[in-house]
Amino acid sequence: MARKLTFRQAVNEALRQEMRRDPTVILLGEDIAGGKGSPGEQDAWGGDMGITKGLIGEFGERRVIDTPISESAFIGAAVGAATSGLRPVAELMFVDFMGVCFDQIFNQAAKFRYMFGGKAKTPVVIRTQMGAGYRAAAQHSQCLYPLFTHIPGLKCVVPSGAYDCKGLLTQAIRDDDPVIFFEHKLLYDVAEDVPEEQYTIPFGEANVVREGNDVTIVALARMVSFAKTAAETLAKEGIDCEVIDPRTTSPLDLDTILESVRRTGRLVVVDEAHPRCNMAADIAAQVAEQAFGALRAPPRMVTAPHTPVPFSPSLEDLFVPSPEKIATAVREARAYKA
Amino acid sequence: MNPSIRAVTVPKWGMAMSEGKVTRWLVAEGAAVGPGVEIVDVESTKIASAIEAPVVGVLRRRVATEGATLPVGGLLGVIADASVADADLDAFVAGFKVEAVAADDGAGAPAPTYVEVGGNRLRYLAMGDGGIPVVLIHGFGGDLENWLFNQPALAASRRAIALDLPGHGGSSKAVGAGDVATLAAAVAGLLVALDVGKAHLVGHSLGGAVAARVAIDHPEAAAALSLIASAGLGPEIDGAYLQEFIAAGRRRELGAALGKLFADPALVTGDMINNVLKSKRLDGATEALTAIAVGSFPGGRQAWVMRDRLAGLTIPVQAIFGAEDRIIPTAHAAGLPSHIIAGAGHMVHMEKAAEVNRLIGGLV
């Protein structure tokens, strides 16, 4: 039965239900129990965003493990546990901190299946927060999924809503490869219908959020709702947009995007990541290479600028792509004459 | 207000529908219309369908323009006798107010609920009151929303209950041997739990076989039997479709499979595909469908043909098929009081809803 859950509750429920179903699922991270060792404050916190709140009460300290503030240590521990029979889900607060454990992720977890000839599996999930708009400044606001998408051997999930979040996180935990699961901070309080039952959404299957015939908009994570808003505005102007949410950047469902662009002839990609080597650049390049003949206008990219995320609120608001910027790009693509 | 003036409004197809788009007018102003005459095509995000004239009269005004989007209950057009003055019609249109219709989570909208039957949790949706209740049983891979064009119309003059079979929709996923008898036992249990007494059992496809089995095993529970594109009437079925449906985990594959169910595959919308995918993705759903395919349709043949046993029933029975059914041969209707409806496929109750509703309503 479906009821409204926020994105935050959807993460918590996916973890809780999968921990009930599979005793090998464990959680690690900073403050994910919270207040450990302080009398009366057990489970006060549930991580910096309160995502894992309540889980230590049901599953105990052996399965919900508060770690020291050492990302390289607990991500390494999670990867090691995954290679020896557990299904760890590590929470690494902000993706911006991932740099201190790149070796564990890029050179260890991502390589085991390949270097051991397919005989090793590494079923680890690293949940992490991303995104600007939280007034958290340059070191806590980036959208770094393109970095991880670049690495063969990692799967990257960028959910845009609570329904997808629960199904994709359940899939991530059951998946035998390392999965980086990106949660946009500004989506946590957005609610939608989510079934009580467990379900999985396959990786590499885009969601066609809105069907249309004039322009294809590809958007990720928080940008999906912005693209929908832009599409509704543009519909009133007689421009019929298709909105595609790839849901995972690796694997990427390029087929759905190509099929759409072959129909519309126009592509706008919206990506909150910095513009160089991001998903917008990647998708635009692949479409240009594989569907050049179908394009009736150059692909357009709506992205954040190539600067750190500003701390000034007014500048931060300008930094993030907006529905208005998306609509402008669509109008330009529509009006383009060779 | 002149009582002979009747509004034609946007219907509410399913729980989530809040507005409909007028795609095409099918008759001109001034045309004589009546029940059975389709006057306008309307689409929701879920599906498109033609709307029939609710009463006999003349279509005097086409109020909604093609391409316009109206709320549920919004005024599409006006039917009245030719004698009604234009001024009265204009006053009617000007004074028309959309009655608030509860959308998705609005208060008062009928919502599905659950009942425990033999350790299974079954989901059902009940509407309407009185009369001989009608119980709507969907087919393989379907759910209670398959009746979205039928249940509200039938509920206007009787209690109408649509259910999710075990393994489907919001019902729990245990299906035992997956055979028709097991599913029929669950439905019989639901009828007892809901204190239905005698019902007109209406089943589509696999649900038809289930309805018939309930009537055979529990004659006291069946007042009549409407078998729509029904299984159980002969051994043939498109076994490849069943396998394709089970295997389709992605949008494209599922869209291709669902297209086989309709005479007009364009009726398969993205929303319809997404809703079916949502059901199929639930833990245990694929296993349940597989078990039912093995238990009810082993080797792509129907395991349970009940033609002889139907002859022993003393209640009214009818078979309804779409002439372009690609899943179960329409020839299976032979020997039963039957209606073969042109321009419809396996989902005849969706494609030609008004006609099917009339046939169901007319049986008892």
pLDDT tens by residue, B333-343? 999 999 999 99
- For A43-100, strand residue ranges (E) read 64-66, 87-94
For chain A, the maximum distance between any two Cα atoms, rounded to a whole number of angstroms, is 70
Nearest to A197 among B251, B274, B282 (CB): B282
Mean pLDDT of all residues belonging to chain B: 92
For residue A319, the model assigns a pLDDT of 97
CB-CB contact of A101 with A144 (8 Å): no
Q: What's the rounded Cα separation, in Å, for the pair A87 and A181?
A: 14
pLDDT tens, position by position, B15-67: 678 888 899 999 999 999 988 788 999 988 777 788 888 889 999 999 999 98
Distance CA B254, CA A205 (A): 13
- Alpha-carbon distance A103 to A319, whole Å? 30
Please name the residue that has the structure tokens 């018939």: B212
Smallest CA–CA distance, residue A162 to chain B, in Å, is: 14
Q: Give B33 to chain A, closest Cα distance, Å.
A: 34
Q: Are strands A248-250 and B6-9 parallel, antiparallel or unpaired?
A: unpaired
CB spacing of A198 vs B249 below 8 angstroms: no
Structure confidence at residue A46 as a pLDDT band (50, 70, 90): confident
Q: Which of B112, B270, B283 faces A208 most closely, judged by CB atoms? A: B270
Same fold, B6-95 and B113-363: no
The pLDDT of residue B102 is above 60: no
From CA A220, how far away is CA A164, in angstroms rounded?
Answer: 12
Mean pLDDT value across residues A161-189: 98
CA distances to A21, A331, B5, B10, B75 from B57, in Å = 61, 47, 9, 19, 17
Same fold, A2-195 and A207-335: yes
Contact A146, A159 (CB under 8 A): no
The confidence score (pLDDT) of residue B17 equals 80
Query: What is the pLDDT of chain A when averaged over all its residues?
Result: 95
Q: Chain B: give the shortest CA distance to residue A14, in Å.
A: 13
Q: What confidence score (pLDDT) does residue B105 get?
A: 45
Q: 3.40.980.10, 3.40.640.10, 3.40.30.10, 3.40.50.1820: which CATH number matches B113-363?
A: 3.40.50.1820
- Cα gap B16→A332, rounded to integer Å: 35
Write the single-letter amino acid at B165.
L
Confidence category of residue B118, pLDDT binned at 50, 70, 90: confident
Chain B residues inside the 8 Å CB shell of A198: 282-283
pLDDT exceeds 70 at position A38: no
Is the model's pLDDT at A297 over the cut of 50? yes
Region B85-101: mean pLDDT is 84
Instruction: Tell me if B283 and A197 make a contact (CB, 8 A cut-off).
Output: yes
- Residue A69: what pLDDT? 92
Contact: B278, A195; criterion CB under 8 Å: yes
**ipTM (interface pTM):** 0.90
- Is A202 close to B250, i.e. CB distance below 8 A? yes
- Among candidate residues A56, A88, A314, A48, the one with its CA nearest the CA of residue A185: A48
DSSP at A27: E
**Residue A192 burial by Cβ neighbours in a 10 Å radius (0-12, 13-18, 19+):** middle
Q: Are A79 and A102 in contact (CB under 8 A)?
A: no
Residue B357's pLDDT band (cuts 50, 70, 90) = very high
d(CA A165, CA A11): 7
**Which residues of A are designated catalytic?**
71, 140
Q: CA nearest B110: which of B161, B146, B186? A: B161
Residues of A in contact with B274 (CB under 8 A): 207
- The CATH number given to A2-195 is 3.40.50.970
Does an H or E element contain B293, and which? Answer: helix B285-296
Nearest to A159 by CA among A14, A29, A302: A14
Cβ pair B356, B228 in contact under 8 A: yes
Indicate yes or no: CB of A1 within 8 angstroms of CB of B123.
Answer: yes
Nearest-CA distance A1 → chain B (Å): 6
**For B259-282, what is the mean pLDDT?**
93
The residue among B364, B348, B362 whose CA lies nearest residue B149 is: B348
Structure tokens given for B125? 């949706």
pLDDT for the residue A37: 63
For testing contact with chain A, the best of B69, B113, B251 (most A CBs within 10 A): B251
Rg, Å, chain A Cα set: 20
- 8-state DSSP, A116: T
Look at the domain B6-95 and name its fold.
OB fold (Dihydrolipoamide Acetyltransferase, E2P) (2.40.50)
DSSP secondary structure string, B168-192?
A: STTS-S--TT--HHHHHHHHHHHHH
Which residues pair with residue A92 across a beta bridge?
A: A128
CATH of domain A207-335: 3.40.50.920
pLDDT, mean of residues A129-133? 96
pTM: 0.88
pLDDT at A283: 98
Residues belonging to chain A: 338
* Domain-wise residue ranges, chain A: 2-195, 207-335
Q: Do B251 and A211 touch (CB under 8 A)?
A: no
Q: DSSP E strands: which ranges in B63-188?
A: 69-71, 75-80, 113-117, 120-127, 134-137, 160-163
- Taking one residue from A and the other from B, the number of pairs with CB-CB distance under 8 angstroms is 34
Q: What are the sequence ranges of the domains in chain B?
A: 6-95, 113-363
